[in-house]
Chains A and B, each alone.
Chain A
Amino acid sequence: MKEFSVINTRLPRVDAWSKATGEARYAADLSMPNMLYAVLLQSPLAHAKILNIDTSAAKKIIGVKDIVTYKEAGTIHYGVSPARYDETMFCYDKVRYVGDEIAAVAAVDLETAMEAISLIKVDYEELPYYLNVFDAIKEGAVSIHDDYPNNIGAEVHQEFGNVEEALKECDYVRTDKFVNKKQDGAFLEPQACLAYYDLNGNLTLYSSTQTPHYVQRTVSMVLNIPIGKVRVIKPYVGGGFGPKASANTIELASSLLSMRTGRPIKMIMTREQVFLHSRGRHQFYHELTTGVKKDGTIYALKNTCYLDGGAYSSFGIATVYYAGSLLGAPYKLPHMKYDGYRVYTNKPACGAQRGHGGVAARAAWEQQLDIIAEELGIDPIEFRLKNVREKGEVTCNDFNLSSFGMKECLEAIRDKSDWKNKKGKLPKGKGIGVACGFFVSGAGYPIYRSETFHSTAMIKLSEDGGTVELYTAAAEIGQGSDTVLTMIAAEALGVRYEDVKIYSGSTDYGVDLGAYSSRQTLMSGHAVKQAAEEVKAQVLEVLSKRLNVPVEDIDIKDGFIIFKNQVDFSSIRSYYVKEHRGWAEQPGGDKLTFKEAARIAYLEKGTIVGTGAYKPGELGGKYKGATVGTSPAYGCSAQIVEVTVDMETGKVTVDKMTDAHDCGFAINRTNVEGQMQGSLSMGLGEALFEEVKFDDKGRVINPTFGEYRIPTALDMPNVNTIIIESDEPNGPFGAKEVGEGAIMPTIPAILNAIYDAVGVRLNELPVTSERVYNALKEKERKK
């Protein structure tokens, strides 16, 4: 076991102090002199042609400084994947959902802007609208986007092995259907931004985003500003979970308004607008057919899925792939077939959300595997242990499991939860369930086709030698990347945590694709580690020359220079002291400090800078769609959940959760646990109560935290979190993902526990009291 000074500890977050005191600034906290406020006009109709937009009355309001529609904004199409650029800043031909953006007004204050917005008159011609996948793909349905006449925006057909033949060889085959509901990201901070276009033609956009890099590219493209003149800065961000991983209308509109008015423009979404902009979890309709052998070997899986995508593609083209590609991977499954269809409907667009594309599929299948285990008379944990893959194996769709502690996860939760004495043995109304999870550790390819590095980093030593400045464009959104990257820099360079000062989240600091697909610890971490090693090498080289000691005999640790053999460094010390006469904190003691060494290196060579850059090496898969799902590493997890079901009301209470996650190597143990606990909480919410609901006109009827319920402190039990470390060879210091994979087993573990408690299977989320009650009644009736 290697010895580490900084990583694998529980150091507090670098931003904890400023967040605990209220000093941390988020986008909505920012303001500039002469700033204007802007608001959006959004469609009240789900699907309609725009006949005319009349802004004349609004323009007359005193205090209104500018009004923009598609006429001013142009109609350059953008989106997430270049293959599906189907959005424009403002609607021009028609509106496609209730909330679609039509215009923006900038005024001296919010009230004035809102008054003006209410005076913009839009004439519509209503069109048929579709609030359901199956209505949208019916013969004769009107197309929501002209390029996709049947409203199927993306479809995927993949087969590995031969599923039809394999199913014939199986001893037991079953088919189940499963449906979840549209889930909202429900981050606490609504999107907000502040744009300023200066007289030199430089745009600075502060925004609550997970992906400054992609926002920079989109803004540059849509507003036709050279990319080098667009700077996107991410202040502190109050959570994202996926929906903030692409450019949004307020970022574009505020930038446009600032270009036109020459004044800073601030925009903040209301909570209702957050629900309307959405980009959260899709609704998935899965049908799964699984075949197994008598001995419990999982042999074939056929997966068909329809995704309710909403009005635009957003991340959906990736989502529809993920809903198939991730499913089989944790098990030794030789035959897998997937048919996926992402369908446009007249609802807010869905996108990526924690566990992108894989959460509903995982819930459906892990419940089905539980049913199969019971039919075969095998304990569900033993059944999984028999089938799980191990390190070094390659899945049927060419995922290389370079590290894989699935078995260790299952054994750990089994032992920690006292499974053997509980499964099937708890009193009626109480139950225990298990499930596994799997996720990528960073998307293998950027969203746009490019040979770009996925992460770059730069480390500069301050010229006085005292501070290690780390520059990264990585996006701290609450998950803790600033902390983890600071720790990696400190460890790799050999200095103390507090010696490193991180500057992050600005496109000026380099390229980083951002906080999505659980990529930053692995990818940004690699770049940072490389930059630190480069800086270290430079400092050691100077010392080596100066002291005439071979480089191999010098190291840096905990902020001190370590010599293999006794070295007289007094010449360096007296030089440093002479240089720093009168400065605070003069070095002393019998060890040469890093600060002295870094100062000497500067005096010798000028500013010491090291850089790092990372992109994944050759990844598996030559088939169509292999770019979605292939990753330099894969995380995995297993969970046991214990529930109580009220037999009278059907109410489900989650009493206890035991979760083991293989994150490769924990850079910060507290952060890893925090990601696990937060993931489980989001999973519990989706399992038990979260559902964005619509009326028959396509309006969201619960766009508030009062009506759209996320877990409170009273809903979430304590989690016994177990960290499994499998030492990922492709990760910095062996680290890989934890941020998303941890959510995977939660829903099915809850479903399986409900079955253990009361003997009913539920194939529709959320598992409300009503659904459980009805299932219990149905079961009684059938007796």
Chain B
Amino acid sequence: MKRLINLIINNKPYEIAVATNKTLTQVLRDDLNLLGTKEGCGLGDCGACTVILNGRPVNSCLVLAVQADGCEIETIEGVAPDGKALHPIQQAFVDQGAIQCGFCTPGMILSAKSLLEKNPKPTEEEIREAISGNLCRCTGYQKIVEAIQVASKTMKKR
């Protein structure tokens, strides 16, 4: 059974028919081809599928697409739109070596973005808390934390 829902994704409106048992991750990936959102576990444990939903970071694998009806969603594709310059957080991830395999990166960047929008000058502890739901097996988190600290500084200057 499908239902018609309305989503605003990366500032663009979408009207789509979705199966009611489909998760937001599945709809973003399979129906809308927004493949930057990753699925690492499908159980809400790893954070790879993090998107920003109405201003808050959520595991999109734990949200049914129909639950997101009428919501505003930001995915990694919306962070540096139209292939223009990278967002300062992305730039900091690139410069600081915060990316290895890259599978956690989209979710990690969105958690960081959500943090810095609310708290532009977080402490290291606040950064670690904010990304504690995003697992990374490659980096040991240090360069990710450093990248978010650098981004916090460059974003303030803007």
Contact = CB atoms under 8 A, between A and B. Distances in A.
A677 B137 contact: no
Contacts of A186: 137
Please indicate which of the listed interface residues B93, B106, B142 has the most CB atoms of chain A within 10 Å of its own CB: B142
A199 interface: no
Which of B34, B45, B97, B143 has the most C-beta atoms of chain A within 10 angstroms of its own C-beta? B97
Contact count band on B: 35 or more
Interface residues of A, number: 55
A26 B93 CA distance: 19
A246 B128 CA distance: 35
Nearest to B127: A713
A710 B140 contact: no
Contacts of B99: 13, 15-16, 19-20
Given A16-B93, A237-B101, A674 B75 contact: no
Nearest to B91: A20
Nearest to A706: B45
Contact of A22 (B36, B40, B133): B36
Nearest to B105: A19
A270 interface: yes
A188 B101 contact: yes
Contacts of A236: 101-102
A89 interface: no
Interface in A231-272: 236-239, 241, 270-271
Q: Interface on chain A toward B: helix, strand, loop, or mixed SS? A: loop
Interface string A703-721: 0111000111110101100
Interface string B100-111: 111111100100
A673 B96 CA distance: 11
B137 A678 contact: yes
Nearest to A681: B140
Contacts of A671: 97
B90 interface: yes
Contacts of A706: 43-45
A362 to B, nearest CB: 19
Contact of A17 (B46, B75, B86, B104): B86
Contacts of A674: 97, 100, 138-140, 143
B94 A23 contact: no
A225 to B, nearest CB: 30
A21 B138 CA distance: 18
B63 to A, nearest CB: 17
Q: Which of B41, B42, B90, B129 has the most CB of A within 10 A?
A: B41
B52 interface: no
Contacts of B39: 28
B36 A713 contact: no
A705 B138 contact: no
Interface in B58-103: 75-77, 79-80, 83, 86, 90-91, 93-97, 99-103
Given A16-B93, A26-B103, A271 B43 contact: yes
A239 B97 contact: no
A201 interface: no
B100 A480 contact: yes
Contacts of A567: none
A25 B35 contact: yes
A714 B97 contact: no
Given A19-B102, A239-B138, A677-B140, 10 more contacts: A10-B97, A20-B109, A26-B103, A186-B137, A238-B103, A479-B100, A705-B40, A710-B137, A713-B129, A718-B142
Interface of A: 10, 12-13, 15-26, 28-29, 185-190, 236-239, 241, 270-271, 477-480, 670-671, 673-674, 677-682, 704-706, 710-714, 716, 718-719
20 contacts: A13-B94, A21-B76, A22-B75, A22-B79, A188-B135, A236-B101, A237-B101, A239-B137, A271-B46, A478-B100, A478-B103, A673-B97, A677-B142, A706-B44, A710-B135, A712-B133, A712-B135, A713-B128, A713-B129, A718-B142
Interface of B: 29, 34-46, 48, 75-77, 79-80, 83, 86, 90-91, 93-97, 99-106, 109, 127-129, 131-145
